[in-house]
Structure 1
Amino acid sequence: MSVFLKYEDMWDRALGGTTDEKQIPHWFANLAYALIGFVFKICFRYRIDGRENLRAFKDKCGAVVVSNHTSFLDVVLMYMGARPSQFVRLMGRDTLFDNAGGLVGQILSRVGAFPIKRDSADRAAIKRAAHMLKGNQLVGILPEGTRRDKGSKKPEIHSGAAFIAKMGKAPIVPMCVRNAENVKRKGERLRFPKITAEYGKPIVVSDFDFLPKEDRLEGCTWYAMREVFALHQQVPREQVDMVVLFPDGRDFTAVFAEHPIPEHTPEEAIELTRPTKKPKAA
């Protein structure tokens, strides 16, 4: 049982899925799940809703899981939501991996995380993510890039989630985390609210092919994030005000009002993304 492994070795190994490639040893991820799950149940009484929308992909197809980002706990809930029968490969900022003399990087890599360079087209990270999806693994992405309402940076939507889903031939599964932002607010004491995570219906990238080619990935990620905030606010998607949420971003509300995107079951999303090849007639 190896205690320390090279980062790059773990980033290029599988964690779950159906590939025959060498796996990251599961013992640490299982131990982390047991310990963190116990603490979160005691402190936050966390609950996962709509998990069937994720479980349907197990051993059948990869999926890109996207979520809102208000706290570091969002990432933990994204990881916890997939366990115990699935793993999610979390895409994290590259500078996190060198913290504490590399100990943080060792921990993150052990549970399946891998780095991406911020504000750049990191081809190595994109290729890794697409390869994971093709091996029927889950990849977790926070398209806002940074925590909402933390610091001076305005929230924006990065279209990398749709690009990676397209490259990896995988659907996108929207997910939200509620109440994590209330654990620690600036200037206030630590709180222990009940935290809920919820998965929505999958989104198929090819449904956005009616858009001009240069707008497809941006429009798809925008739509996925609107689904995320509809789950978060517990309202119909049409009631989410994306202009308020992303004041400097492009608004696709009118486009999708005129051209509604079909809603799919996970089984339909799998078939549309990776159609089953019919045997040739004799």
Structure 2
Amino acid sequence: MNLYKIAKTVVSFIVYPLYRIRVIGKKNVPKTGPVIICSNHISNLDPPVVGITSPRDIYFMAKGELFEKPFLGKLLTGIHAFPVKRGMGDRNALRKGLKILENGNTLGLFPEGSRSKTGELGEPLAGAGFFALRSNAAIVPCAIIGPYKPGKKLTVIYGEPMNMEAYRAAKKSAKETAEAIMTEIKILMDHYHSQHASLDK
């Protein structure tokens, strides 16, 4: 068993019961081929939660400074993380992300770039749109509905893949495409919010 699978098993054992995680729409994540999972970002725990609820192994970007510590750097690499400098202008990270997709793997992105302290969706960076337009990946919107409180229910919803052909044909910019992805995430959040609230009573 590799490090990724070990970490996924351990984290699942702890986090699933702690936050009473419910997953909806897992079947919407294609079983094969390149995939980009785009989620809202409300906690530092979002990457591991998406990682354990997704049926596919996911590659995530992580702050470059974290890789400067030898042990931590090796650990992050072992669980499929790769470094990115602040912002989405890091060409090495962009190339790495595209290569991951070219190899038929799954890339996990948080279009907002940073956590939302209020739980409301923020403005997306252009990065998610860049990867969506420059690859042939299926774009799967994902919504995490919290809060992250022990004993409270956490819902993770995977929406149906978005078709990017229309965006390419219309020559949409990376920013416009990222905004469209965020709109799909918001639709998921709005649709399941009341259902989630009723389950947690």
What is the TM-score normalised by the length of structure 1? Answer: 0.62
Question: Does residue 206 of structure 1 match 2:165?
Answer: yes
Percent identity of equivalent pairs: 26
Tell me the residue number matched to 2:43.
71
Question: Does residue 87 of structure 1 match 2:61?
Answer: no
Q: Which moved more, 1:140-149 or 1:118-127?
A: 118-127
Please list every run of at least 4 consecutive aligned residues from structure 1 whose deviation after the TM superposition is greater than 4 angstroms. none
Question: Does residue 222 of structure 1 match 2:188?
Answer: no
Tell me the residue number matched to 1:6.
none
Question: Does residue 163 of structure 1 match 2:130?
Answer: yes
Query: Can you give the 5+ residue segments of structure 1 that lack an aligned partner in the other structure?
Result: 1-25, 184-190, 236-282
Deviation at 1:120, TM superposition (A): 4.5
Tell me the residue number matched to 1:121.
89
Paired AA for residue 20 in structure 2: R
Paired AA for residue 229 in structure 1: K
Counterparts of 2:143 and 2:78 in 1: how far apart (Å)? 24
Tell me the residue number matched to 1:137.
105
Counterparts of 1:136 and 1:210 in 2: how far apart (Å)? 23
1:233-248 to structure 2, matched below 5 A, reads 233-234=190-191
Counterparts of 2:70 and 2:190 in 1: how far apart (Å)? 38
Deviation at 1:167, TM superposition (A): 2.1
Other structure's SS at 1:70 match: coil
Deviation at 1:210, TM superposition (A): 5.5
Q: Is the 8 A contact 1:133 1:139 kept in 2?
A: yes
1:6-21 to structure 2, matched below 5 A, reads none
Query: Can you give the 5+ residue segments of structure 2 that lack an aligned partner in the other structure?
Result: 193-201
CA RMSD of aligned residues (A): 2.2
Q: Is the 8 A contact 1:133 1:168 kept in 2?
A: yes
What is the TM-score normalised by the length of structure 2? Answer: 0.86
Question: Does residue 109 of structure 1 match 2:77?
Answer: yes
Q: Using CA pairs below 8 Å that are at least 6 residues apart, which structure has the higher relative contact order?
A: 2
Deviation at 1:103, TM superposition (A): 2.8
Deviation at 1:44, TM superposition (A): 1.3
Other structure's SS at 2:47 match: helix
Within the candidate set 73, 79, 97, 2:67 is matched to 97
